[in-house]
Structure 1
Amino acid sequence: MKITAVRHCKAEGQESNAPLTAEGEQQAKDLAVFLEGQHFDCVISSPFKRAIDTIKPFAELRESSILVDDRLAERILSAENDPNWRSNLERTYKEEHLKFPGGESTFEAKERITSFINELQAKSYKSVLIVTHGNLLSLLINLYDPSFGFKEWELLSNPDVYQIDVSLKDVSKLWVH
């Protein structure tokens, strides 16, 4: 199975209902053109508005529906305002069971994305398009390329598109806007 994984386009914030910026809306249109010739058994998005709006132009172009799966939602590092969030996030890449108040550990987030992938495989999909968020995308890639960590997360942009061949455990970057 091949997963084409998209990090959402530029958004106005981190809240679940944050819309895309004007630039993000154009990126979503460009992404639709980029993906136009590809076939996917299904399109699945994070429930966050910015993720759904990222793939909406493609879905409209293809006249296909967008499935929503909560397991593609962004990972919450902590429910508290943390001025040291960046260094704490870096720590979680090395200490996978480290968990901050109200947050999700790297281990838990990887378990969540693994259950999602296992379900896709059980449905015998050959090619799936997903839209998610930077941190969860980096952890998904890390499952197949253990060298992909915090430093690589820092280099992600909005949007990035990666293809993951689950059976070959191969990851390749397809597109960056």
Structure 2
Amino acid sequence: MTNLYFVRHAHSIYSADELNRPLSERGKADAGKVTELLKNECISVLISSPYKRAIQTIEGLADIIGVDIAIEEDFRERLLAENPVDDFEHAVAKVWEDDSFSWEGGESNMVAQKRGVRALEDVLERYEGKNIAIGTHGNIMVLMMNYFDKRFDYTFWKQLDMPDIYKLSFDNLRLSEVKRIWDRS
């Protein structure tokens, strides 16, 4: 079995600079909780989106287990649109209604999912039998989960916490179990 721990990044301070947007104070505190929850899971591989908020959410774990975080560009958040959208909720709902629809300059669900799943399958093959934590983002995480199980959809995405952690167990490339690890309490 290969176990992937998808870690949706903690709360961040909004800025238009997606790459360098840092965690907020609340996000930093929650990243500490992520570390506590995962430190005894025998994780030996850490991978993250290149976005600072995703890296910061798992870097405490990197310090504890003494492993560098590998950056995987394709675990970055889906590009919703070239420019900021007026109504984020509506914009996200629209792309989930039609897998091939994209806002101007953005990625459709189909395109973003293909990108994420290709990277995920590479990780599953390269690190077969290991426990891997992946620092990522809500939309791309759910799109990857949706590829393996359609119950992970827009409604599921809407109920995610920030941060959130899901353990996905794979037998080769077959998803066998999904378990939520995050507990806000």
TM-score by length of 2: 0.89
Cα distance in 1 for partners of 2:181, 2:58 equals: 16
Cα distance in 1 for partners of 2:94, 2:128 equals: 35
Cα distance in 2 for partners of 1:58, 1:168 equals: 25
Cα distance in 1 for partners of 2:124, 2:61 equals: 23
Letter matched to residue 54 of structure 1: T
- 1:124 deviation in Å? 4.1
Q: Report matched runs for 1:18-167 at 5 Å.
A: 18-126=21-129, 127-166=131-170, 167=174
- 1:154 deviation in Å? 1.1
Cα distance in 1 for partners of 2:21, 2:123 equals: 28
For the aligned residue pairs, the C-alpha RMSD in angstroms reads 1.5
- 1:41 deviation in Å? 3.4
Is residue 179 of structure 2 the alignment partner of residue 176 of structure 1?
Answer: no
- 1:92 deviation in Å? 1.4
- Which segments of 5 or more consecutive residues in structure 1 lack a partner in the other structure? none
Identity of aligned residues (%): 27
Distance 1:103 1:169, change over 3 A: farther
SS of the residue corresponding to residue 176 of structure 1 reads: coil
Query: Quick check: 1:145–1:170 contact (8 Å CA) kept in 2?
Result: no
TM-score by length of 1: 0.93
- Which segments of 5 or more consecutive residues in structure 2 lack a partner in the other structure? none
